[in-house]
Structure 1
């Protein structure tokens, strides 16, 4: 079984990796918002249903990334709590 210090070190490493992922998620979030904005701008006035579908799908992707970011932040906070109780 791992020592308390090994567990704390493992939690610290996990939180570092999770924190790094938040940067990548934020970048993806920003890129998708830009993609949606661009698509909306260039297809303005289009009567094609596909345009609305594509915009909706991009919006859903942005929302999903926001949800993932919140989950990662909650996981980091929970793991920090575990480490503090050791």
Structure 2
């Protein structure tokens, strides 16, 4: 069985990796927002249903990344709470 210090170190490592992922998620969020904006600009006035679908899917992807970011942040906070109680 792992010692308390080993558990704390493992939690710290997990939180470091999770924090790294937040940067990547933010970059993806920003890139998708830019893609959505570009698509909206170049397809303005189009009546094709595929355009609307593509814009909706990009909006959904942006929203989903935001939800993932919140979940990762909550997981980091929860695991920090565990480490603090050890």
**Where on the TM-score scale, by shorter chain, does this alignment land: which range?**
over 0.9
Cα offset, 1:9, TM superposition: 0.1
Which structure 1 residue ranges, 4+ long, deviate > 6 Å from structure 2? none
Cα shift at 1:41:
0.2
TM-score, L = length of structure 2: 1.00
Q: Does 1:43 align with 2:48?
A: no
Structure 1, residues 25-58: CA drift from partner, whole Å, max 9, x if none?
Answer: 0000000000000000000000100000000000
Alignment-derived partner of residue 18 in structure 1: 18
* Alignment-derived partner of residue 7 in structure 1: 7
Q: Write the distance in 2 (CA, Å) between the matches of 1:55 and 1:18.
A: 29
Residue number in structure 2 paired with 1:64: 64
TM-score scaled by structure 1? 1.00
Consecutive unaligned residues of structure 1, counting only runs of 5 or more, are: none
By how many angstroms is 1:79 displaced?
Answer: 0.2
Tell me the C-alpha RMSD between the 2 structures.
0.2
